[in-house]
Chains A and B, each alone.
Chain A
Amino acid sequence: MIAYTIQRLLLAIPTLFVISLLSFVLIQLPPGDFLSSYAATLAALGEQLSGDTLALLRESYGLDQPIYVQYYKWITGIVTRGDFGLSLEWKQPVKALLWERMGLTIALTLSTLLFTWLLAIPIGIYSATHQYSPLDYVFTTIGFIGLGVPGFMLALVVMWIAFIYFGADVGGLFSDQYKNAPWSLGRVWDLLQHLWVPMLILGMEGAAGLIRTMRANLLDELHKPYVTAARARGLDETVLTYEYPVQVALNPFISTLGWALPGLVNGGTIISVTLSLPTAGPLLLRALQSQDMYLAGAFILLLGSLTIVGTLISDLLLAWIDPRIRLTH
């Protein structure tokens, strides 16, 4: 197990490196460097940036140096000092904007993950043990709709219904009085009261897929000879279901955790724009639109790292639960 853990950890490092490289390339992709677009924005506002200032700024950001030096400066700043550069649009360090939003993103992602599991596992078990019952059909139909309806459509429709019938605006994660307040117990409570709407919308898609997987896995398992043998020996039906088949069927849940996370981050990005949540999504979108590239790069780097770490954890969990995996490595 230890050997496998070390091996897996070592494999994650190059992956993180590639992610950082990719984020950096994405930052550099737009034509012209960000200073020229900054100067253009200023010019549009009527301010002029003198050539000297521009050259000075260029030097302090290392923009006159070759690209690998720039990358080196950028990544060492992040790794050693936690310095993600400067957001030009907000005129403050990126890290000041970053962490609260990333924290809320992670909170939303993890709570949604938990929610999908809590929803999908019991429903999956029920659907498999009561195959072709009316409720099974209901769940299957809901599942297909959840798979087919894009998250932002669902978000729009939920907002629309809430607006028309309850007169409530379900967007955002905080009430007005807590929006810019410092963290306190009251603010956390407020967050929890708002979190469930995006959680429900975001969880719908994932839960739909998981219900189908759970149902299919358990159905496969329930028809195996050992279940019949146990039943023939008069074992209680509840014990019979939960003791072995359910545990075996749960295996793919952990192995697909690594894919579930990118999906959740994907969905979360779009839904948070639709519902205007104070998570990474809307700010990333704005940063990309205004070519505030250090900010955008930081978000892409962190969102990518989030999924890679998630995959790593799921691999380790899987190896811990299933000895076959750690032994073949």
Chain B
Amino acid sequence: MLSSKIFVDKLRGNGFDFFTGVPCSLLSGLIAELEADQGIGYIPSVREDAGVGLCAGAYMGGKQPVLLMQNSGFGYSLNAFTSLNLIYNIPVLVIMSWRGCGGNDAPEHIIMGDINEPLLKTSGMEYSVLDENNADQVLTTALKKINDEKVPYTLLVKKGLFDERH
């Protein structure tokens, strides 16, 4: 398991200073940490694509944004990524829970769980699977993509990585 608090501290230590998202139970510990700190000013987004737009605006206004979502929201945001971020070169760090990974989940998550990685790849969305040992390494990779290539970078989060608070 990876401590939600330690990971939030790592994000902030790496310069991420704008946080929004649509919740997932797999990310509930992370979001609780973000919401507990008034200084962070976590913003609940109504939909994942609205979160993509919000982060794009924040980035152009000088912030380094992070967007949290369940992979179901990747479907809702696909047009936002392909017709905004990927053509204007507007980066964002996406923390995406991988529901349906391995086919062992509720029915609504199975198909997206199965196509999650191929869909990211075919969309030109680079990603890493976050685990309890590679946080520093994947954040270094993400920052390089964000700062040098100005593209979105996604961290996939499997069930059990972060504590769940619900």
Q: Do A and B bind each other?
A: no
